[in-house]
């Protein structure tokens, strides 16, 4: 019996249409219109006039014009780009054993860039796979494994064992679609069907035990003898080096795309916009009607300047057009849909304070809208960390030395001079806040590129330079900030107030 590697997991067919919709919405108008009636069906008039049956029919030509006039909104791309910008406003912190610091993706990317691409896929389809691989079944002496990614659509089949009480589930079989165009003769290209099979132990067994093996096959030529146990300097793996990263977890179960509602709404706006623009077009295409005029079937009538129409006594001529009474309602409905899409997308991810919006209100709004983003970045980082730990085991390094910490400071408030003065004043009055911490915050907000030690040294040189136009104010002694905390020391309080005043004056300047 021939086994087809294109066989898909039962859960795949439940979500592949959602993945296609999200992928098309992210790619934009050109990609959506290429799908033709998938997102913009024929009207009854198009069908009556032969659309879909005869590509040269009046109905098909009318549909193509109908589709061309429609506008697809780019809310999806804007939302994802805004979210990625916020997620990576600060670089992630990735720690690796020294021997693994040169590890790269199959595209030559650093792990920081790879994490960004992982987050993009999490937002589009809510799913992707990352795999550790080596160039041959036995890696050369100095080659590190590399990390490659697979979009949700390419993970066609998988098995994580039976659901049994107290028995942890783990992948024991994965089938990946690697079909692609390959250059065959000189400058011509052909589509090659390829599938990568990853297994643990025997393929027939539904258990996660044995040695990791892998192989690449055509769709219908699978042969278990083609599976090879990959090793790095003689080290074999007792797990499949493949991690499925969803939007909320690292299991094989399929998640819904986190922005699916926005993608569906964009398609609704596309269809509504097509109808609205069709009616606008028809509004300017009035039909000329004559009453009492005998015209032969093949006779044409000219209108406009320089033309003459002869009508009998009692005859009449007029233009009849589409009534515009429904256009206002269509326009209002379209505006409401676009407003709703904006509230679901990039507009609410904007962390810039709006007019008359208080700081508390801004923080609440951003926190509410970035809750999912926290989950996505944490899960993406956990997935990357998991596959890097597997690589560490494979190459004989300590997996505990691997960590991936994502940036989670979304919608950060601008660090102003007034804020810095308030922080320094609080520290002067005894709040346990060090100058090192304040400098680290300023550096994180990109107010300086120097380290704390470099900044202190520069400040000393400025203080010693008599020609420097701005003299540095007296620096508060952080270690002795609470010397007068006991008892009622009026002189100490007055000294602290004087220092706070100096800092405020310096901030004002």
pLDDT digits (tens, 9 = 90+) for 274-297: 999 988 887 767 777 888 777 676
Which of 83-87, 98-102, 342-346 comes out lowest in average pLDDT? 342-346
Name the percent of the chain lying above pLDDT 70.
79
Most confident of 191-205, 263-277, 279-293, 397-411: 263-277
**Tens digit of each residue's pLDDT (9 = 90 or more) over 37-51:** 999 999 999 999 999
Between vectors from CA 243 to CA 397 and to CA 80, what angle results, nearest 5°?
Answer: 115
Mean local confidence (pLDDT), 474-493: 47
DSSP state of 251: S
Which tokens is 19 given?
Answer: 């993945």
Please say whether the beta carbons of 439 and 455 come within 8 A.
yes
Q: Where are the domains of the chain?
A: 286-320, 417-508
Which of 108-117, 294-303, 310-319, 478-487 comes out lowest in average pLDDT? 478-487
Q: What is the pLDDT of residue 269?
A: 95
Please indicate whether residue 301 or residue 211 has the higher confidence score (pLDDT). 211
N-term to C-term CA, the chain: 84
**Tens digit of each residue's pLDDT (9 = 90 or more) over 336-367:** 888 888 877 654 455 444 444 444 554 444 44
Which tokens is 364 given?
Answer: 């609440």
**β-pairing verdict for 195-200 and 212-217:** antiparallel
Please indicate whether residue 157 or residue 438 has the higher confidence score (pLDDT). 157
Most confident of 115-129, 315-329, 422-436: 115-129
Q: What is the pLDDT of residue 354?
A: 45
Q: What is the pLDDT of residue 1?
A: 47
**Per residue, what are the HEC states of 10-51?**
CCHHHHHHHHHHHHHHHHCHHHHHHCHHHCCCCCHHHHHCCC
Q: Provide the mean pLDDT of the chain.
A: 82
Mean local confidence (pLDDT), 364-374: 58
Q: Which residues of 451-475 are buried (b: 16+ CB within 10 A; e: fewer)?
A: ebeebeeeeeeeeeeeeeeeeebee
Mean local confidence (pLDDT), 306-318: 78
- Label residue 453 by pLDDT band (50, 70, 90): confident
* Element housing 369 (H / E): helix 359-369
Q: What is the pLDDT of residue 158?
A: 94
Q: What is the pLDDT of residue 499?
A: 53
Please indicate whether residue 334 or residue 137 has the higher confidence score (pLDDT). 334
Q: What is the pLDDT of residue 94?
A: 96
- Label residue 469 by pLDDT band (50, 70, 90): low
How far apart CA 367 and CA 385 sit, in angstroms, is 26
Q: What is the pLDDT of residue 166?
A: 53
Q: Evaluate if residue 413 carries a pLDDT over 70.
A: no
Query: Of 196, 227, 233, nearest to 213 (Cα)?
Result: 227
Q: Evaluate if residue 391 carries a pLDDT over 90.
A: yes
Q: Evaluate if residue 369 carries a pLDDT over 70.
A: no
Please indicate whether residue 301 or residue 428 has the higher confidence score (pLDDT). 428
**Tens digit of each residue's pLDDT (9 = 90 or more) over 114-170:** 999 999 999 999 999 999 998 765 555 557 899 999 999 999 999 987 776 555 678
Q: Evaluate if residue 488 carries a pLDDT over 70.
A: no
- Label residue 421 by pLDDT band (50, 70, 90): confident
Q: Evaluate if residue 487 carries a pLDDT over 60.
A: no
Q: What is the pLDDT of residue 502?
A: 57
Mean local confidence (pLDDT), 474-502: 50
Which of 150-159, 390-399, 485-494 comes out lowest in average pLDDT? 485-494
Q: Evaluate if residue 319 carries a pLDDT over 70.
A: yes
Q: Evaluate if residue 326 carries a pLDDT over 80.
A: no
Q: What is the pLDDT of residue 424?
A: 85
| Helices and strands per DSSP (H, E), number in the chain | 15, 16
């Amino acid at each position: 019996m021939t086994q087809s590697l294109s066989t898909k997991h039962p859960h795949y067919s439940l979500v592949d249409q959602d993945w296609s919709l999200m992928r098309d919405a992210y790619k934009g108008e050109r990609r959506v219109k290429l799908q033709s009636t998938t997102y913009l069906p024929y009207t009854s008039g198009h069908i009556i006039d032969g659309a879909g049956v005869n590509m040269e029919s009046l109905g098909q030509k009318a549909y193509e014009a109908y589709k061309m006039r429609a506008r697809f909104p780019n809310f999806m791309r804007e939302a994802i780009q805004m979210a990625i910008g916020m997620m990576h406003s600060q670089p992630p912190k990735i720690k690796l054993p020294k021997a693994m610091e040169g590890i790269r993706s199959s595209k030559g990317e650093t792990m920081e860039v790879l994490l960004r691409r992982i987050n993009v896929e999490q937002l589009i389809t809510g799913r992707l796979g990352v795999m550790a691989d080596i160039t041959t079944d036995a890696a050369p002496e100095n080659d590190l494994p590399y990390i490659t990614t697979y979009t949700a659509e390419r993970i066609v089949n998988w098995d994580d064992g039976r659901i049994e009480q107290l028995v942890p589930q783990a992948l024991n079989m994965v089938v990946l679609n690697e079909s692609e165009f390959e250059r065959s003769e000189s400058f011509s290209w052909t589509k090659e069907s390829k599938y990568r099979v990853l297994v643990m132990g025997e393929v027939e067994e539904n258990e996660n035990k044995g040695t990791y093996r892998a192989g690449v096959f055509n769709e219908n030529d699978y042969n278990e003898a083609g599976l090879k146990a990959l090793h790095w300097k003689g080290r074999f793996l007792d797990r499949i080096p493949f991690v499925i990263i969803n939007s909320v977890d690292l299991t094989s179960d399929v998640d819904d795309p986190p922005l699916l509602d926005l993608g569906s709404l964009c398609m609704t706006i596309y269809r509504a916009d097509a109808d609205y623009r069709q009616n606008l077009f028809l509004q300017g295409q009035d039909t000329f009607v004559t009453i009492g005029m005998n015209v032969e079937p093949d006779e044409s009538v000219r209108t406009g300047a320089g033309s003459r129409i002869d009508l009998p006594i009692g005859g009449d001529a007029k233009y009849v057009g589409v009534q515009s009474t429904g256009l206002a309602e269509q326009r209002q409905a379209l505006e409401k849909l676009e407003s709703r899409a904006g509230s679901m997308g990039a507009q609410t991810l904007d962390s810039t304070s709006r007019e008359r919006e208080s700081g508390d209100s801004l923080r609440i709004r951003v926190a509410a809208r970035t809750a999912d983003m926290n989950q996505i970045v944490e899960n993406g980082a956990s997935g990357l960390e998991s596959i890097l730990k597997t690589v560490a085991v494979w190459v004989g390094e300590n997996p505990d030395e691997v960590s991936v910490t994502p940036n989670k400071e979304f919608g950060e408030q601008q660090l102003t001079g007034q804020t810095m003065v308030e922080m320094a004043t609080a520290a002067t009055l005894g709040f346990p806040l060090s100058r090192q911490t304040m400098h680290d915050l300023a550096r994180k907000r990109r107010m300086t590129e120097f380290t704390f030690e470099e900044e202190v040294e520069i400040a000393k040189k400025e203080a010693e330079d008599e020609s420097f136009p701005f003299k540095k104010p007296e620096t508060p002694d952080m270690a002795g900030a609470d010397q007068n905390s006991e008892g009622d020391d009026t002189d100490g309080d007055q000294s602290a107030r004087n220092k706070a005043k100096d800092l405020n004056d310096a901030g004002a300047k």
